[in-house]
Structure 1
């Protein structure tokens, strides 16, 4: 029987310090299985020598292909670029980060569940080592909030680390929105799925790229990309406020007309005005978030641009800077002697 054709997609941003450690562990896992394996690294506009490290690794291992994006487009775009570069011959595709918080040693377990007939096998964290209680608590809250707001399954405590079948990746490639929340897109496509539990380790080297502000923006991206509940909540609050305001106004009018009781209390009037003003600004902010995403989508800009592709198929013109009349062949770029960045 022919060996399984497995492709591993690894996005990397400023991971020069940890990449040699990661690749050594990944190769140890892949060499221990009967696989026809390939690894696609995506350099998301790194500025720390990541591209040079990837070039050295590629010179040592012919199974490696690399993409270098023209700038830092973000992890979601880098993942998309890597998945777009997977050839149609691949039977299964693994997505994993390079920081070694997700262990490559879990890949055999993911493959086992894939052989059982699942199209998506995601790795769910039982424990998150090396993270503050605040980050764990907010992540816990976010995943459960998304699960309630989305119209499909969004697994709790699950990141991008997963294995997907070829047909699942083909379905994912059809989703070309510019504002991307990959965890939601993974759930949206459906297909039979299951979880493999694991203990998440602390980062082995380098520094995390995800501060609280970026995590907050990612959470807003996820909620607004897959639910209109915030808009409905804003409408409900507006209706409730209008009913209360009408009832209060009717009461004041009746008291003034029937009993001649004048309206009293400048402070109470100011409180009402400020509360209503705050609610209006909140509703405008919610609408603005959705409108901003519509604005980004209608411009139809590419999700990413590729500066260099080595030992991977060139992307279609929509997703790369390749000439529109260039054949979709394998492009092998010359390896630079130094990183111009």
Structure 2
């Protein structure tokens, strides 16, 4: 039997409706992978409760008591999806040969996990789960997502199109990822920068099994802005170029106004004055806002505050329990 230990990291925020089914399916996948000799029976599912306000943690605790292959982390408050993922990966990496991250909503195909593991055994350190199509998305979400990927490509940011946070990382990749300690983290942009041998597994994304989406339009916009400003200075450079363009236009208008004055054609134009004030004022405020985004990030980085705080940790307890359960199953 292979000694490869896998940990499946599942960030959770108010997922009590879907979690029982998620847990059933993931344990089934683990069992099948063990039977296929792809992973060790010491492999586990690690749920990360990102400050849920419902019964999510109670369910995780119950699952852990019922089955030693289920464990959990409870964060002290809601730190956000990306930091919940990082908390799970950093906790799991010391006791795992590879880690797979997947959301709790069952939209990602859990049966693709076996294909991830096959690629891992073929020598790939990073395996991306990539959506073959986006039929389950609304017209708006599908097209804004495509526009986001194209824009990031233009800005020079390496992303894997139609890939979210369904991926496998080897321990080597996890160790290198852990060196990225910035506060403003954008995992989808960091992973391709690691440069290790990678592969893609295509799958069809499903409808959410139960509960509500934790990524409404506001969070999607914030996520996109985080990605852009974390990996590119193009917006602030564009503000500089735009300011320089308006300075040149202003010089041209000054010359034009002086010529009209000396020719005696000067006419006070209220409309043009108001339009100019609004246009230039708007551009200035936009440029200040862009600069402010970057200054805000610098402000956060210089504080060196912890990125997440773990309130309860079930992961470190009980590896022997798993071994005993596996031994009992073999006996039966």
Give the TM-score normalised by the residue count of structure 1.
Answer: 0.88
Structure 2: where are the runs of 5+ without partners? 322-332
Map of 1:94-113 to 2, 5 A cutoff? 94-113=100-119
Q: Does 1:168 align with 2:159?
A: no
> Which residue number in structure 1 is paired with residue 163 of structure 2?
158
Q: Does 1:200 align with 2:210?
A: no
> Which residue number in structure 2 is paired with residue 23 of structure 1?
23
What is the deviation of 1:131?
2.5
| Alpha-carbon distance between aligned partners in 1 of 2:135 and 2:29, rounded to the nearest angstrom | 22
> Which residue number in structure 2 is paired with residue 57 of structure 1?
63
> Which residue number in structure 1 is paired with residue 83 of structure 2?
77
| Alpha-carbon distance between aligned partners in 1 of 2:96 and 2:76, rounded to the nearest angstrom | 26
What is the deviation of 1:263?
4.1
> Which residue number in structure 2 is paired with residue 284 of structure 1?
288
Structure 1: where are the runs of 5+ without partners? 314-328, 333-341
Q: Does 1:5 align with 2:5?
A: yes
Q: Does 1:303 align with 2:307?
A: yes
What is the deviation of 1:89?
4.1
Check whether the contact 1:125–1:158 (CA below 8 A) recurs between aligned residues. Answer: yes
| Alpha-carbon distance between aligned partners in 2 of 1:263 and 1:188, rounded to the nearest angstrom | 58
Q: Does 1:273 align with 2:277?
A: yes
| Alpha-carbon distance between aligned partners in 2 of 1:176 and 1:65, rounded to the nearest angstrom | 25
Check whether the contact 2:61–2:71 (CA below 8 A) recurs between aligned residues. Answer: no
In the TM superposition, what whole-angstrom CA distance separates every residue of 1:236-293 from its partner, at most 9, and x where no partner exists?
Answer: 1111111111111112112323x23224312112111211111000101101111111
In the TM superposition, what whole-angstrom CA distance separates every residue of 1:144-177 from its partner, at most 9, and x where no partner exists?
Answer: 21122134x2111110000111111111111111
Check whether the contact 1:96–1:102 (CA below 8 A) recurs between aligned residues. Answer: yes
Check whether the contact 2:93–2:171 (CA below 8 A) recurs between aligned residues. Answer: no
> Which residue number in structure 1 is paired with residue 330 of structure 2?
none
Deviates more, 1:107-116 or 1:285-294: 107-116
Root mean square deviation of aligned Cα: 1.8
What is the deviation of 1:27?
1.3
Q: Does 1:119 align with 2:143?
A: no
Map of 1:220-231 to 2, 5 A cutoff? 220-231=225-236
> Which residue number in structure 2 is paired with residue 216 of structure 1?
221
Check whether the contact 2:46–2:88 (CA below 8 A) recurs between aligned residues. Answer: yes
> Which residue number in structure 1 is paired with residue 182 of structure 2?
177
| Alpha-carbon distance between aligned partners in 2 of 1:83 and 1:265, rounded to the nearest angstrom | 63
Check whether the contact 1:13–1:44 (CA below 8 A) recurs between aligned residues. Answer: yes
Task: Please identify which structure carries the higher helix content.
Answer: 2
In the TM superposition, what whole-angstrom CA distance separates every residue of 1:276-331 from its partner, at most 9, and x where no partner exists?
Answer: 11100010110111111111111111101111111327xxxxxxxxxxxxxxx99x
| Alpha-carbon distance between aligned partners in 1 of 2:312 and 2:156, rounded to the nearest angstrom | 37
In the TM superposition, what whole-angstrom CA distance separates every residue of 1:6-29 from its partner, at most 9, and x where no partner exists?
Answer: 111111111111111111111111
Query: Equivalent residue of 1:85, what SS?
Result: helix
Of 48, 57, 60, the residue aligned with 1:42 is 48
Alpha-carbon spacing, 1:129–1:172, altered in 2? closer, same or farther (3 Å): same
| Alpha-carbon distance between aligned partners in 2 of 1:2 and 1:188, rounded to the nearest angstrom | 30
| Alpha-carbon distance between aligned partners in 1 of 2:116 and 2:154, rounded to the nearest angstrom | 27
Query: Equivalent residue of 2:184, what SS?
Result: coil
Task: Please identify which structure carries the higher strand content.
Answer: 1
| Alpha-carbon distance between aligned partners in 2 of 1:14 and 1:103, rounded to the nearest angstrom | 21
